[in-house]
Structure 1
Amino acid sequence: MIRYSLKCDQGHTFESWFASAAAYDALAKAGHVGCVHCGSTRVEKALMAPSVAQADAEVRPLATPTSELEQKLAALRRQVEESSDYVGRDFAREARAMHAGESPERPIWGEARIDEAKALIEDGVPVAPLPFMGKARAN
């Protein structure tokens, strides 16, 4: 995993984790990296200082949201989970069925491979990446 400091074309800065540098490049090129503040997909890497551990540094539990951004992401996740149906790995199939009128429209969220998400976008199905992992990967 790699963490990048990012900046959108509107000047907002934020951080996000990616599986690798190549994964970031592929997601950014496909327009799947969006600003957590305004949703802009015109995002680039920002200047970042290396993380250096200090011997006397305070140790905090990883699961506790501490920064304002982490708190906002946790609130967004709660809102998404409370107001939409989690469809897991069936996301691409469900989104396509709703777009085609074969299934009733409703807010959904789930997981899709990058090629599935790309195909949905190319076919005009409105989708957007979420800045957190699906339920299956969150544990």
Structure 2
Amino acid sequence: MKVLDLQCSQGHVFEGWFASEEDFQSQKQCDLVQCPLCNDHQVHKLLSAPRLNLGARPPGPARSGHDANQPAHPDAGGGSSGSAQGALTTAVVPFDQGDAALLPQAIQAAWLRLARHIASNTEDVGAAFAQEARRIHHGEAPERGIRGQATAEEALELLEEGVAVLPLPLPVSAKETLQ
């Protein structure tokens, strides 16, 4: 199994797992390799060093003197405030200048987690989004989280009617299960 560091033309960095170099090239030629964030098919390999797992734990910098399995802040996790569905937990994590290089990857990972959470907790109503949002708003359909497609004009009309909508482009990979 080859784990390759890949990058799309938009600068998003991600991993791809392939049986061999030939497998990667074959999938790339068939446009099967795409960025999980923006669906860009213009993907190229980045330089990466092989890692041999010989049973030893890889050396790593100590992180702010706290255990990785414990919340970074006493208020992060543990207690329950509000309803279980849709509850958000925030954590205060000390920022180290060495973390600055990890920031784009961390933002990308957080965005993908958010997109997958939204996709798994909403119903896709497709092109009927504006009509279904109105039905829910007027009490004609059961209240639930929905997602779909609407034109800019439809979205503005919904907002003017008091229907809360948020334009949010979701990557295709967030809507699918990973293999």
TM-score (norm 2): 0.39
Higher Rg of the two aligned structures = 2
Compute the TM-score of the two structures, normalised by the length of structure 1. Answer: 0.49
